[in-house]
Structure formats: structure tokens, C-alpha cells
Amino acid sequence: MILIVDSGSTKADWISVDQSGKQLQEKIRTGGLNPEILKEKKLYKIIRKSEELALIKRDVTHVFFYGAGCGTENPKLLLKRVLEDIFVNAEVEVTEDTMAAVRATLNNDDESAIVCILGTGSNCSYYDGEKIDQRIQSLGYTLMDDASGNYFGKQLVRDYYFNHMPEAIKISFADKYNMDADYIKYNLYKQPSPNAYLANFAEFLFLNIDSTYIQEMIKEGMRIFARNMIFQYKDEVKTVPVHFAGSIAFFAKDQILEIAEEMGFTAGNFVRRPIEGLVGYHTRKFQS
């Protein structure tokens, strides 16, 4: 049994397949497993909480884990050790979520493209058909992650408190979320995964997408992301498509297409959940 995992900071999707690509059971959902943010004890707790994973853990022969926070060596090794300890009969490969986005969005395995992730966090890299070139090292949600869920969540909360929201939007926002200052500060500064907490507010964007205020917020976030990330590849962007993965990108597709035309890059594929494309990729590898 092969387990393919696509994990952000908020949630992780697990799909079990055989070597022909046949799905063996329903997709399993757990909390996100970001080893840059979560301690070892919490990683164990999230995985062991799943009754579905407990039932199959000894049947798993391969785990292919793609995740946020797996781009540097120490967090990657931490998570690999946790997974090997739980799935005792499995070979475990841990890879950054960037590679999941690459493998899921390309039209073919050796295509060259700029690939962006816009989910709870954000990232951007160039794939030359063989390897990833990532020119910006992420410093996490506090300083980077433009146009991500936590970026937009932060903008919404700031606009609420600075009274920059249109009144009708502000009322609707307060009806949907607990906007008590002490509650917000508790979640930001006393609880784990503040980036995931902020990202929860981003749903509001797409529930109110007809609002000019919301559309302009999305487009401005995308302009910042394009300037800081996409145009790091100033030569490549002239000749290759820019693919997008993640829920923010998927639901903001219309606004991204507008910014692509405005700023002069070619938007390519939009994939909400990379994991479906990863099944095809790994099946091809086992069959080749």
C-alpha cells in the first residue's frame, strides 16, 4: 500500500493507492503537519489521532509526504523520523510542498514552468524540467507569505480594527468571527499555528467575492506576490507559463488572471488540491 500525503499548515490529505494507482479507501484528512511550526509531540498526536491511519499503518510500504515546512533539512528529518516510527514497514520520503505543486500542475513531467503555491502560506519556484530553482528562502508567515490565506486573514483583521472595511462588510465579518481583541491575541500569541488561525479568515474573501473591496484586496495581494516572487524569475517569466496550486489561487483565479494581464505574465494551470495529480505521478513511476 502506498500513502501519498499533501500537507499544508492547516490540514493534510492522505490517499492510499496500490501500485496501479487504484485508490484503496476514502481520502483521510488530518490536521496539518508543518514541522517548522509544530513540535515532535504534536506531530505524533495529530497522526495517531486518526483511527483510519491506525488501521492501515502496518500495511503501508511507501509514504510519499509533501508538506509545508519541509524545505529545510532539520524539519524534514524530524518529520521523516516521526513517520518512520509510525509506519514501521514503510519507506518514507519527505519533500517540500513546492515539489507537490510542480508535479501536480505541469502538463508533462519535463515541462519548464514557474509554479506558485497560494494556500495557508505562499511560495514560488522555477522548474526547468528536471530540478527546482527557488531563489527566495521563505522566512515564514510573519515576514513573507504574500497573497496567502494567512496574509489575507491578517489584512482582513487589520482592516476591521483600523476601520478600513465598508460598514456592511464589517458587520458581516463580525457576525461570522469572534473579533474580541483578547480572543484574537490569545490565538495569535498563546496557541500553536497562528498562521493557520489567520488563514481561517480568508474564507470570508470568497464568500463575499462580489464586493469591490474584497476584489481589490485580492488583486493588491497578488501584485505584491508577483513583484516579490514571480518576477524574481524576470527572464524565465517571459517564456514559460506560471502555474498555481492551492485553494486561495483556485478561488481567486479571475483576479489572478487580471493581474497576469496587467503585469505581463502568462497564467497557466490552476489546481486546488495537488494530491490528485500526485497519484498519477507516483503511479507512472512505479510502472516505469
* Residue 6: closest CA among 47, 94, 66: 66
Residues in the chain: 288
Strands 11-17 and 28-31: antiparallel
In a domain? residue 13: yes
pLDDT, residue 124, reads 94
Residue 179 lies in a domain: no
Summarize pLDDT for 139-153 with one digit per residue, the tens: 878 899 999 999 999
Q: Which residues of the chain have pLDDT under 50?
A: none
pLDDT in tens, 70-127: 988 999 999 999 999 999 999 999 998 889 999 999 988 889 999 999 988 899 999 9
Give the pairing of strands 267-271 and 28-31: unpaired
Whether 92 is in a domain gets the answer yes
Residue numbers of the domain that contains 62: 2-101+274-287
Provide the pLDDT for residue 276.
77
On whether residue 178 sits in a domain, the answer given is no
Number of structural domains (the chain) is 1
Determine whether 273 is exposed, middle or buried from the number of CB atoms within 10 Å of its CB (0-12, 13-18, 19+): middle
Question: What is the predicted pLDDT for the residue at 288?
Answer: 67
* pLDDT at position 165: 97
Listing DSSP states for the chain in one string gives: -EEEEEE-SSEEEEEEE-TT--B-SPPEEEE---TTTS-HHHHHHHHHT-HHHHHHTTT--EEEEEETT-SSHHHHHHHHHHHHHHSTT-EEEEEEHHHHHHHHH-SSTT--EEEEEESSSEEEEEE-SS-EE--S----TTT--TTSHHHHHHHHHHHHHTT-S-HHHHHHHHHHS---HHHHHHHHHTSS-HHHHHHGGGHHHHHSTT-HHHHHHHHHHHHHHHHHTGGGGTTGGGTS-EEEESHHHHHTHHHHHHHHHHHT--EEEEES-THHHHHHHHHHHHH-
pLDDT of residue 97: 83
The verdict on residue 253 lying in a domain is no
Residue 131 lies in a domain: no
pTM of the model: 0.81
Query: Does residue 218 fall inside a structural domain?
Result: no
Handedness of CA 84, 90, 95, 97 (dihedral sign): negative
Query: How would you class 154 by CB atoms within 10 Å of its CB: exposed for 0-12, middle for 13-18, buried for 19 or more?
Result: buried
Asked whether residue 41 is assigned to any structural domain, the reply reads yes
Location of C-alpha cell 516572487:
229
Tell me what pLDDT residue 98 has. 87
Question: What CATH number is attached to the domain comprising 281?
Answer: 3.30.420.40
The pLDDT, as a whole number, for residue 5 is 96
Q: In Å, how far are 70, 220, 246 from 249, measured between CA atoms?
A: 21, 14, 5
